[in-house]
A and B are shown apart, each in its own frame.
Chain A
């Protein structure tokens, strides 16, 4: 937002609709960030920085909403902002009721924004009640908070003295400017906006700078917001003109708010780190400032610079998100880049192959060049692939809120711990993994963690812990959901399975027993709640994860907890494949579904009924699928035949595929066959082999289903 509105500086008649999308994205991010900060907020030791951070989020959303004319959002966020403002000025002590109402308001803003985004014109959920509750809390009518002793300590450490800015005399330096006349527009602002104050130009020692003496009641931030209509933020320097005795406090705060309500997307307030330390905005540069920030040996000058902005921002987000400067790029552009690099890798492989026969003595330079090309293409491919990778924290961040609500509903006490949030995963996968993970975390909270009384009776701490962790293991990512709840009960599962007429025995291994809960419709919950227990779930989780070429493992100890580990490939675009030869053709099997392979004699295959073939592998009969027949592979060499069997597993069943030869394992880039052609039965996609040829990737799931009828 900050960028767009700086770019639009000076022009009053720009088409705002082109910025809508950016606003919606930013507002969403701000609301998410605010929610995270609210949840992390420790009510008793809440410091200025946290409160300011939350305030900034509400402020940014409000500014944007007002600019784009979303009055309902602007009104709600304005109320939130007012409450937050009183909090950060320590006029009120934060309490749980406020956090609740703020979280609700964030949700309400989100749904209002969603309506604007989709152009939904149906009547919105009324926010009047929320607005009133916030106003009530802001007026201090809520039950008085607990004794504010710890806060007093904080305040003492960081004397946040003058709360309201009075009439101040400032010196504002603008520059360097290519056209110093631009700065004159600032002077006009003071003429045009009643109550802003007075301004008169001072002489400047440099030609490309303009200096003004300003007498105003507005804060530096409000002034900056206004000025950035005309000049960029980096070019403005505001400092108190003369240190004067504090002017009697006048409640000008509301008046100053009025000014930037209509400002385009009032950006995140940016100040120097010193200002952040001291407690933000309102008294930066105020007469009391030198006193208020004694621990910093910086002159009380608010110098707004790019660097300072970054520092302030980073400090505000509490290093939780290690994000530096980012750009938004359409995913299709990235995919195109990945495609092109893939192509480059193939070309490079071809060159390498063709140059192998060359005499190194004669073609030394060429060969060195090719070796460099080899290395560079690999590096390039790696970097390009990493563009699509986003940290797991994006997924994890939605759970604290969900668990908080869920635990509250169930009357349970749950701590949520996340590990490895920085682990990166392909964006496409992140979107698809969220729902299964949500289900697992819900399950842990609903079925795993016991009621506080039960936990105490079992000699466990009253508060249960759910841990969500992500880590890289080899070429895959492992996401674990752990809880220290009651774990799975072997007897209960076996009993349920027998009731359902499933084929089970008491001698089954633990792993096999746990596997039963993936059966469709299986639930061990005694009571069906509206959270879970209906038996739809684990099978869907497993199916969704299998569709991503991933696996699910369960580990459990009754009375001590349970662990569900989801293993996924790092990216959807690349898959570990096993290439098999049939006739003269090459097919790729997803390695994740290959169980084993072996050579058979033709007499090991027995025929049943209508020509269906079965093979006995150890103690199990498995259907045999001849790829040669399924894919009508022409045979030119009749001496060769399929005598290699590959056992593949999909959807919980196994089949044996009959192939001519195993060619090897390799990572393959998965391409869509349907973008230019159509769906081919038993084929999930295609890939390009090292020699530039296309090979089809088999859909093992479809092959398994085919064998069933």
Chain B
């Protein structure tokens, strides 16, 4: 699906709500409907032979949930674990994944006209996973297609062949 089509789809459905979070100096937004809950960070159980950004698995009320550190995934300068570090639990097509971010800012409603197509730039993020840029006054929001990002083969979250 091309960028413009995606934008068209968004504008057709009108304004959407996004959960915004911080990674280092950047601010990101994801579709609020994909978010199940937000939790504090607790050290996960390491899983051998996993990429470095998969911190391991945690127990979420009896379910084993993998934890991805977005700061490591996006090559942020530092990835500290402090009292602000939070885990956003995502529910993506019946799979539950937790992502570690520096902090969660707020929930924003973005009208379609506030969305701009992202220019083609070189980035560690697969350009297909960036839905667009949202401008809110002086702030710029990078809107992620989190489902696409998480199911990409290089995330190593799903067994190959699935």
Query: Which residues of A line the B interface, CB within 8 A?
Result: 339-340, 342-343, 346, 585, 630-634, 671-683, 686, 688, 692-696
Contacts and interface: CB of A to CB of B under 8 A. Distances in A.
A691 to B, nearest CB: 10
Contact of B62 (A339, A630, A634): A339
Given A676-B63, A676-B96, 15 more contacts: A343-B61, A343-B62, A671-B62, A672-B64, A674-B159, A675-B63, A675-B64, A676-B97, A677-B157, A678-B157, A678-B162, A680-B49, A686-B45, A694-B56, A695-B45
Given A343-B62, A676-B66, A677-B157, A632 B48 contact: yes
A632 B159 CA distance: 20
B95 interface: yes
A663 B45 CA distance: 17
B44 A339 contact: no
B9 to A, nearest CB: 28
Contacts of A695: 45
B149 to A, nearest CB: 16
Contact of B59 (A630, A678, A681, A694): A694
B58 interface: yes
Nearest to B96: A676
B59 A688 contact: yes
A683 B57 CA distance: 13
Contact of A679 (B59, B66, B159): B159
A676 B48 contact: no
3 closest cross-chain pairs (CB), A and B: A631-B48, A678-B159, A339-B62
Interface centre among B49, B57, B66, B162 (most CB of A within 10 A): B57
Contact of A694 (B48, B57, B162): B57
Contacts, number: 73
Contacts of B63: 339, 671, 675-676
Contacts of B44: 694
B14 interface: no
B16 interface: no
A325 to B, nearest CB: 30
B156 interface: yes
Interface in B59-113: 59, 61-66, 95-97
Contacts of B47: 677, 680, 683, 696
A630 B61 contact: no
Contact of B45 (A340, A585, A682): A585
A678 B158 contact: yes
B157 to A, nearest CB: 6
B59 A673 contact: no
B112 to A, nearest CB: 33
14 contacts: A346-B59, A634-B46, A673-B64, A676-B63, A676-B95, A677-B47, A680-B47, A686-B64, A688-B62, A692-B59, A694-B44, A694-B56, A694-B58, A696-B47
A630 B158 CA distance: 21
Contacts of B48: 630-633, 680-683
Contacts of A633: 48
A677 B57 contact: yes
A694 B64 CA distance: 8
B162 to A, nearest CB: 8
A679 B95 CA distance: 14
Nearest to B66: A677
Contacts of B162: 678
A694 B47 CA distance: 10
A251 to B, nearest CB: 61
Contacts of A634: 46
A547 B8 CA distance: 52
